[in-house]
A and B are shown apart, each in its own frame.
Chain A
Amino acid sequence: MTSIDTGLAQVRTEVEVPRDAPVGTGSRASRILGVVTLVLTAVGLAYSLIISPPDANQSNAGRLLYIHVPSAIVAYVAFGVTALASVMVLWRKTEVWDLIAGASAEIGIVFTSLCLITGMLWGRPIWGVYWTWDARLTTTALLLVLFVGYVALRRALAGTANRAKWCAIAGIVAAIDVPIVHESTNWWVTLHQGQTVRLLGESEIGGSMLFSLLLMMVAGLCGYVWLLLVRFRVGYLAERVDEYAFDEAIAQRRAEAASQQRTAAHPDTPAHRDTPSDRADTHRIATASTSTEVD
């Protein structure tokens, strides 16, 4: 049992800290994964940007696709994880799933933005425009807005007790929307343009180009899992800090009664100084012991 000095001179709380509790944001798994991600990304970028030949139709602009496509995949994986975790929050009601949902959404914002920006940079030399309203791009843009709204809601609800449940509901509601948006923009585009625009153009991918793409995809997914692990641990530790503060809050709450009584009895005594004999008063007044250990 470790004793945590909460900084209040008059109240000491004994709180039990599990022996194998995480005490940092890195674990062995996340460190290994981080190194793997770095290596894969470095090698992948080398292949994409330097080693593989430029595309026949798209020349060097096509290299952007090595970043664009993997980030799109990761964005949708992140979205799927957030949606699934939201369902699990409502089903299993544990805090772990809520933290995963939030972490995945934040990472999703990063990768969706990356996907859209690289898409726009690629579109300019290839199509002549930064943006076009095809089904996939539109759905991805909407995905970004849904992610941002979800994270905004989490921030607004920070500190309230029911945050996990409400954010889970918001997450599921937004998730229902994405396939509907995709379907409707698909219809809409075929309606107005006659045919969908193919993102990858007419060229075939083979050899080292395919290898670069696959490498970057794996790098992207590893990066996602690594960031998810780290962000999850940060969230988990933040929750634990709040929990430890709670036990001391209980003791402080009960001490209020003691100091109020003393102020009433001896008006000239400063209310915030408590001596050990006054702690005894606290015990006499407080009712039977609770689950937290107050010495």
Chain B
Amino acid sequence: MRRVVHLRDAVCVLGRFPALAGATLQVDAGEIVLLQGPNGAGKSTLLRLCAGLLPLQSGEAEVLDCDLSTDPRAVRRRVALLGHGVGLYEELTVADNVAFWTAATKTDRGEIDAAIARVGLAGRLAHVEVARLSAGQRRRAALAVLLTRHAEVWLLDEPHAGLDAQGRDLVDHLVATAADAGVTVLVASHDLDRATALADRVATIDGGVVAALGDGARPRRSREELSSAG
């Protein structure tokens, strides 16, 4: 199986603060890895590092065979990040936002409606300004944008936060479907029961390092399909 994420003793600095103080993690293609840990442990930083947004201070970091210490920008177009901030223009509607981001990432514009429909915002809501949507609806809109990127790696920073049960089911469904199709997913979440059931492995982040690694509770059948797909 192909190694998609390779971190060894990665140190990442925010201003003067070592947010990641030597993290080591290996993730293979098609895996779903849950990152859990207390607030301020470095989960968001790890995700942003893998997106190629943060410079690597020391150690090794490779995502999709791109060396993040020399050229972090090469990997950006191939990943998708769902951060704390949804990354949408407040004054534009959902449809406008998805249209803009598909144009920016040069993906096929015909998929806009399909993506909006998949996250359950089709119809009236698609033409409402983002500023007037609830937090959960904004998260769904951000998911629609994420779907249109066709990324090989998904980096989700607390995707369940602010969503109702239906929304959380949607996130789980999208993640599971993507992983079955070969997408690698790293999820940081505080909703441990739900996320552990979803994940192949669980990594505990604490004090800027990967403190422990364990198994998730994803159904075994999917993992076997995974290893045979290679």
If the complex has contacts A288-B22, A290-B9, are A159 and B206 also in contact, measured as CB distance less than 8 A? no
Interface residues as binary, A190-233 with B (CB distance below 8 Å gives 1, 0 otherwise): 00000000000000000000000000000000000000000000
**Which segment of B77-85, B86-94, B207-215 sits at the interface?**
B207-215
In the complex formed, the residue of B with least CB distance to A247 is B18
Binds B, one of A57-65, A124-132, A136-144, A250-258: A250-258
Q: Is the C-beta of B21 less than 8 angstroms from some C-beta in chain A?
A: yes
Restricting to A73-101, which residues have a CB under 8 Å from any CB of B? none
- Which of B18, B58, B207 has the largest count of A CB atoms less than 10 A from its CB? B207
Contact B207 A255 (CB under 8 A): yes
Name the CB-closest residue of B to A286. Answer: B209
Across-interface contacts of A187 in B (CB, < 8 A)? none
Asked if A161 lies at the interface with its beta carbon under 8 angstroms from chain B, I say yes
Q: Is A242's beta carbon under 8 Å from chain B? A: yes
| Chain B residue nearest to A255 in the complex (CB) | B207
A255 to B208, CA, bound (A): 10
Known contacts A246-B18, A254-B21, A254-B22, A291 near B58 by CB under 8 Å? yes
Q: Check if A290 sits within 8 Å of B58, measured CB to CB.
A: yes
Range for the number of chain B residues in contact with chain A: 20 to 34
Range, interface on chain A = 20 to 34
B38 at interface, CB cutoff 8 A:
yes
Chain B positions within 8 Å of A277 at CB level: none
Contact with A along B208-224 (1 / 0, CB 8 A): 11110000000000000
> Looking at chain A's contact residues, is the secondary structure mostly helix, strand, loop, or mixed?
helix
The residues of B that contact A257 with a CB separation of less than 8 Å are 206-207, 209, 211
Does any Cβ of A come within 8 Å of B120's Cβ? no
Q: Do B13 and A290 touch across chains, with their CB atoms under 8 A apart?
A: no
User: Do residues B9 and A260 form an inter-chain contact, with CB atoms below 8 A?
Assistant: no
Chain B, residue nearest A259 (CB)? B207
B64 contacts A by Cβ under 8 Å: no
**Is the pair A253, B13 in contact by a Cβ cutoff of 8 Å?**
no
Q: Is A110 an interface residue (CB 8 A)?
A: no
Q: Name B's A-contacting residues (CB within 8 A).
A: 8-9, 11, 13-18, 21-24, 38, 58-59, 206-211
| New A-B pairs, 13, CB < 8 Å, besides A254-B22, A254-B207 | A160-B15, A161-B14, A245-B16, A249-B16, A253-B17, A256-B206, A257-B209, A258-B207, A261-B206, A285-B209, A287-B210, A290-B9, A290-B22
